[in-house]
A = this chain, B = another copy of it.
Amino acid sequence: MSTFQVELKKVVDDSYDIEIGFDLMDTLIQNLKQGLVGDVNKYAVITDDKVKPLYATKICDKLKEAGFSVELFSFPEGEKSKTRETKAMIEDAMLEKGYKRDCCIIAVGGGVVTDLAGFIAGTFGRGVPFINYATTLLAAADASVGGKTAVDTPLATNLIGLFNQPKKVYLDIATWRSLEKRQVISGLAETIKHACLADAEFFDYLEKHMEEVLSFDKEACEHIAEKNCNIKYQVVMKDERESGLREVLNLGHTVGRAIETVSDYRLLHGEALSIGMVAQVTLAHKLGYVTEEEKQRVISLLEKAQLPITIPEYIDKEALVQKLYTDKKVKKGQLRFVIQKGIGSVVEFEEGVFATPIKEEVAREIIMSI
Q: Which residues of A approach B to under 8 Å, CB–CB?
A: 1-22, 24, 27, 41, 84, 88, 91-92, 95-96, 100-102, 119, 122-127, 145, 147-150, 153-156, 159-163, 165, 222, 226, 229-230, 233, 237, 240, 242, 328, 330-332
CA distance A242 to B145 in the complex (A): 28
CA distance A68 to B17 in the complex (A): 44
By Cβ-Cβ distance, the 10 closest A-B pairs, closest first, are: A1-B21, A8-B14, A95-B155, A4-B18, A9-B13, A4-B229, A126-B161, A12-B12, A7-B15, A2-B20
Contact A88-B84, Cβ < 8 Å, known A4-B18, A161-B126: yes
Q: Give chain B nearest CB distance to A156 CB in angstroms.
A: 5
- Cβ 8 A contact of A3, one of B5, B20, B119: B20
- Cβ 8 A contact of A153, one of B2, B91, B148, B155: B91
- Residues from chain B with a CB closer than 8 A to the CB of A24 are 1
Q: Give chain B nearest CB distance to A191 CB in angstroms.
A: 15
Contact A328-B153, Cβ < 8 Å, known A1-B20, A10-B12, A226-B4: no
- Cβ 8 A contact of A18, one of B3, B21, B226: B3
Q: Contact between A14 and B9 (Cβ–Cβ < 8 Å)?
A: yes
Q: Contact between B15 and A2 (Cβ–Cβ < 8 Å)?
A: no
Chief secondary structure at chain A's binding surface: mixed
CA distance A361 to B51 in the complex (A): 46
CA distance A259 to B336 in the complex (A): 53
Contact A126-B155, Cβ < 8 Å, known A3-B19, A9-B12, A332-B41: no
Known: A4-B233, A5-B15. 17 other contacts (CB 8 A): A1-B19, A1-B20, A1-B27, A2-B226, A3-B17, A4-B17, A4-B226, A6-B165, A6-B237, A8-B13, A8-B15, A8-B165, A9-B12, A11-B11, A12-B12, A126-B148, A126-B242
CA distance A367 to B160 in the complex (A): 42
- Residues from chain B with a CB closer than 8 A to the CB of A6 are 15-18, 145, 165, 233, 237
- Residues from chain B with a CB closer than 8 A to the CB of A27 are 1
- Residues from chain B with a CB closer than 8 A to the CB of A9 are 11-15
Q: Give chain B nearest CB distance to A93 CB in angstroms.
A: 10
